[in-house]
Amino acid sequence: MFFRQHFPRGAPGSWDAGRVPTSTAPATPVETTLRYQRGDFLFATARRALLAQGVLASVTDLDPRRLARKVAAELDSSGVPLAVGVLPFDTGPDTAVPGHLVLPRTLHRAQAEAGAAEAPPAEVLPAPVATRRLPSPDGHRANVRAAVAALEQRGLRKAVLARALELEFETPIPAERIVRNLARGNPRHHTYAAELPGGRTLVGATPELLLSRAGDSVFTTPHAGSMPRSADPVEDRANGEALLSSAKDQEEHAVVIDYVVEALRPFCRRLDVPDGPDLVSTPAIWHLRTAITGELVDRSVTALDLAAALHPTPAICGTPTAEARALEQELEPFDRGYYAGTVGWVDAAGDGEWAVVVRCAEVADKTMRLYAGGGIVPASDADAEYQETVAKFRTLLAAMGLDDRSS
């Protein structure tokens, strides 16, 4: 249907659906990120950026596996190199929130050599005129206690409880500036922006990769177990070490690894799973992370098929999945929408990258909703869980020039 232009897989460069190749000069990842305009799709670190603009076709479905098949068929018939988009948190049988991908009109990919990466300039944002916490801090502590009790009563190993912050502004929210500040503040992690059905824009910067596929190589970095960073270097290091030696956090992490390994095993001839997690950090928070690699049995299984099979992991849902999701829906006073979903891209060869939608906000015209959650296991403490959400909100609040008083 469209003109097929040579666009080597994963290579930097530009692609355009028209017959005339885009004349854009090669750009760095940071320059590519700076070009983002609300309405575009962005998936970028300081080293690699993908910017997709315009919509040639969109594919929407409540069932992520069916969505993956439809997207593969569209890519095959159209000659468009890749599709970009989001899956919501709730992909269960009763969900009303669809997965949504688009085949873009133009595409820019950039890659940087190792070495010092340039940083985009910091930008100033307007201050909110009203803030609402959902639930209140005490309401979240009460939810954590209720979830701990429910874990035992209902036989759950883990749940994940979230809070939301609703910010209201007098003027339209400049999503572009938030995205650029996120990229500046989180150069090693994926800054993302995607249009959602209904006209909202999802923005965030996540450390967690749900899954990537390149040829027959599969890679995933489940994150679970967290501790706030501190401005004091001695306390900061102590927080990290306390996380690494915390039995409660190791258990919270192990639940996720068990699930991910079981979900990936049928697809992989080989899976390399380290004995224990590493300690990693964002500017706001320490995490436990395990980097798992695998080798695919069948290359016709795309990155989006694999994301649909893995999502939702216990990192953002808990386990068993259906029971944990039901508990969250009972306790959280909002619909998660695309928070705790997945965002990314899949190409015509089946390669792709899907990141976990955390440290994010859904931006409307003059209002936005930020989300932060944490894993709950039997040993969880209500106040520590509340403090963990305060630290997790910092990624977005810092990009807006706001401090913890908003959370």
Ligand X SMILES: C=C(O[C@H]1C=CC=C(C(=O)O)[C@@H]1O)C(=O)O
Is there binding between residue 373 and ligand X (CB under 6 A)?
Answer: yes
Query: In the annotation, is 208 catalytic?
Result: yes
Query: In the annotation, is 158 catalytic?
Result: yes
Beta bridge partners of 40: 38
In the block, tokens 């159209």 appear at 78
**DSSP code at position 181:** H
Query: b vs e for 108-133, b when ≥16 Cβ sit within 10 Å of the residue's Cβ?
Result: bbbebeeeeeeebeeeeeeebeeeeb
Is there binding between residue 204 and ligand X (CB under 6 A)?
Answer: no
Sort 176 into a burial class: Cβ within 10 Å, 0-12 / 13-18 / 19+.
Answer: buried
Is there binding between residue 277 and ligand X (CB under 6 A)?
Answer: no
**Closest distance to ligand X from the beta carbon of 287 (Å):** 5
Q: Which two tokens stand for residue 307?
A: 């994301």
Task: Please identify which residue in 225, 277, 341, 350 interacts with ligand X, judged by CB under 6 A.
Answer: 225
Q: Would the CA dihedral through 312, 315, 321, 327 be positive or negative? A: negative
**How far is residue 243 from each of residues 80, 277, 286, 287, 341, measured CA to CA in Å?**
45, 11, 8, 8, 25
Task: Please identify which residue in 87, 159, 224, 268 interacts with ligand X, judged by CB under 6 A.
Answer: 224
Taking CB under 6 A as the binding criterion, the range among 65-73, 221-229, 320-328, 343-351 that sits at the site for ligand X is 221-229
The residue from 74, 208, 323, 353 that is catalytic is: 208
**Closest distance to ligand X from the beta carbon of 342 (Å):** 12
Is there binding between residue 358 and ligand X (CB under 6 A)?
Answer: yes
Residues 157 and 149: beta-carbon distance below 8 Å: no
Q: Which two tokens stand for residue 285?
A: 């928070």
Q: Rounded to 5 degrees, what are φ and ψ at 142?
A: -65, -40
Is there binding between residue 397 and ligand X (CB under 6 A)?
Answer: no
Task: Please identify which residue in 80, 101, 316, 324 interacts with ligand X, judged by CB under 6 A.
Answer: 316
CB nearer ligand X, residue 257 or residue 348: 257
Residue type at position 263: A
Per-residue interface string for the shown chain with ligand X, residues 131-170, x marking contact by CB under 6 A: -----------------------------x-x--------
Per-residue interface string for the shown chain with ligand X, residues 278-307, x marking contact by CB under 6 A: ---------x--------------------
Cα 378 from chain centre = 26
**Closest distance to ligand X from the beta carbon of 248 (Å):** 11
Q: Which two tokens stand for residue 54?
A: 């315009």
Is there binding between residue 392 and ligand X (CB under 6 A)?
Answer: yes
Residues identified as active-site: 158, 208
Residues that bind ligand X (CB under 6 A): 160, 162, 208, 223-226, 287, 315-316, 358-359, 371-375, 392
